[in-house]
Amino acid sequence: MSPSYNAGFGNEFQSEALPDALPKGRNSPQRCPYDLYAEQLSGSAFTAPRTHNLRTWLYRIRPSVVHTPFVPIPAPNVVRSFSVATDDGECISTPNQLRWSPFEIPTNGKVNFIEGLNTVCGAGDVSSHSGLAVMIYTANADMENTAFYNSDGDFLIVPQEGRLEIQTELGVISAEPKEIVVIPRGIKYSVKLVDGKARGYILETFDRHWELPDLGPIGANGLANPRDFLYPTAAFEDKDGAEYKIITKYQSRFFAVTQNHSPFDVVAWHGNYSPFKYDLRNFNCINTVSFDHPDPSIYTVLTVKSGNPGTALADFVIFPPRWMVAENTFRPPWYHRNCMSEFMGLISGAYDAKAEGFVPGGASLHSMMSAHGPDAVTFERESTKQLGPEKLREDGLAFMFESYLTLSLSKWALDKDTAGGRALQPNYYQCWQPLVKKFNGLDLTKH
């Protein structure tokens, strides 16, 4: 049976898997209905302003505290520190433009969603709640009797291949390519692969939480509309006996505990701190109807704000199918040097600024102030073609993680022989080399 959802970004919801499981008139009565335990999950400080205060009350069969002590477990391809101060550090600094071919999905042995996490780049420090990390996930097995929660930050998950069934404490979320899922800090979940294999992208943010961008002169509607964000409804497991492993990412290290009951035993919940999903096909594009290529900020789906107004810790931006009608205009993105870092991925189809090499399941990184833009083939085509209204790439869906932070690269991402698929393209820079001098101005030195 398909999961059911509540709708509306950031709303207060209440959900019961059994009738009258939620206490009436109070959050923590002396005895909860059905003899459940009350447990509050806080996603913000108690004293955060009401507009940013996040918490959910869970009514569960056992409290989360019933487990064995934490023990460290290996996570070899998840970066622990983004410092590049020492030669033997985990990360490398480079301003080079980088591009990766599709990351290979494992074929030898079983690799589940958590085991298949690989850090590509990042910045900041999880212990001070500052910064972010970009990851790739590749998996070929379900998480069996295993759950995960992230103590360090929120995961924004972008499936590229393979459907996911995500069982969370608050209910079940199904996700397919062209949808995204956000799992906030601290919420436990387990991932099943509906198609037997999966690949995608993750943006982990250590500070604050995702918000809808301000619309300003756009007005009250447009871009990602709040009604299209879907939140799970209560669905619980009452299972005892089997050993369940609970893994947490804590200060970028992995730890595990065991317990003899399912972690998904929440019978009812109410609050505003919950995982959610969004279908990118519902995005309402804003675009020019006159001339010039607008700034890509008009394609922002979600944002994590920084302390500097108008400058994001992270923006999640998409480039979906859309009509292009700009007159006397070079329509692809212009050549650009940016004070922001831009990590891009391709979910399906092709991208309008690259004729080849940037393909679904791959990625690119254009770091702060590193020049980038259309390849030579695209420039020649788009500079000379006859302009008219056109629907841009009806099968194409690209996205960008953008941040004001300077990102450091993991050794895994820069290894040409990495087990992740020998994905790094060492000759990416060559796509711009055929751009030749076209200047036809008068040579004044002859006069």
Could you read off the pLDDT of 386-401 as tens digits, one per residue? 999 999 888 899 999 9
Instruction: Look at 69-73, 260-264, 340-344, 436-440 and tell me which has the smallest mean pLDDT.
Output: 436-440
Amino acid at 50: R
3-class SS string, the chain: CCCCEEECCCCCEEEECCCCCCCCCCCCCCCCHHHCEEEEEECCCCCCCHHHCCEEEEEECCCCCCCCCCEEECCCCCCCCCCCCCCCCCEECCCCCEEECCCCCCCCCCCCCCCCEEEEEEEEEHHHCEEEEEEEEEECCCCCCEEEEECCCEEEEEEEECCEEEEECCEEEEECCCEEEEECCCCCEEEEECCCCEEEEEEEECCCCCECCCCHHHCCCCECCHHHEEEECCCCCCCEEEEEEEEEEECCEEEEEEEEECCCCEEEEEECCCCEEEEHHHCECCCCCCCCCCCHHHHEEEEEECCCCCCEEEEEEEECCEEECCCCCCCCCCCECCCCEEEEEEEECCCCCCCCCCCCCCEEEECCCCCECCCHHHHHHHHHCCCCCEEECCCCEEEEEEECCCCEEEHHHHCCCCCCCCCECCCHHHHHCCCCCCCCCCCHHHC
**Cα(160)–Cα(176) distance, integer angstroms:** 8
> Over the chain, what is the mean pLDDT?
93
Burial of 85 (0-12, 13-18, 19+ CB in 10 A): exposed
Q: What are phi and psi of 329, to 5 degrees?
A: -140, 135
Q: What are phi and psi of 383, to 5 degrees?
A: -80, -20
Mean pLDDT computed over 290-315:
93
**What is the per-residue pLDDT for 85?**
58
**Cα(167)–Cα(34) distance, integer angstroms:** 23
Q: In terms of DSSP bridges, do strands 146-150 and 240-250 run parallel, antiparallel, or are they unpaired?
A: parallel
**What is the per-residue pLDDT for 432?**
93
Is 442 within 8 Å of 353 (Cβ atoms)? no
C-alpha atoms less than 13 angstroms from C-alpha of 254 in its C-beta half-sphere: 15
**Cα(188)–Cα(157) distance, integer angstroms:** 15
**What is the per-residue pLDDT for 420?**
46
Catalytic residues: 293, 336, 342, 366, 372
pLDDT reading at 445 higher than 90: no
**Cα(228)–Cα(8) distance, integer angstroms:** 6
Closest residue by Cα to residue 11 from 56, 69, 73, 62: 56
Mean pLDDT computed over 210-214:
96
Report residue 273 as tokens.
């701190």
Mean pLDDT computed over 131-142:
97
**What is the per-residue pLDDT for 349?**
93
Reported as a pLDDT band with limits 50, 70 and 90, residue 406 is very high
Q: Which tens digit of pLDDT belongs to each residue from 245-295?
A: 999 999 999 999 999 999 999 999 999 999 999 999 999 999 999 999 889
Percent of the chain with pLDDT over 90: 85
**What is the per-residue pLDDT for 441?**
82
**What is the per-residue pLDDT for 87?**
56
Percent of the chain with pLDDT over 70: 96
Report residue 15 as tokens.
């959900």
Reported as a pLDDT band with limits 50, 70 and 90, residue 419 is very low
Q: 33-57 burial string, b = 16+ CB within 10 Å, else e?
A: beebbbbebebeeeeeeeeeebbbb
Q: Which tens digit of pLDDT belongs to each residue from 163-208?
A: 999 999 999 999 999 999 999 999 999 999 999 999 999 999 999 9
Closest residue by Cα to residue 399 from 444, 438, 434, 364: 364
Amino acid at 9: F
Amino acid at 53: N
pLDDT reading at 446 higher than 60: no
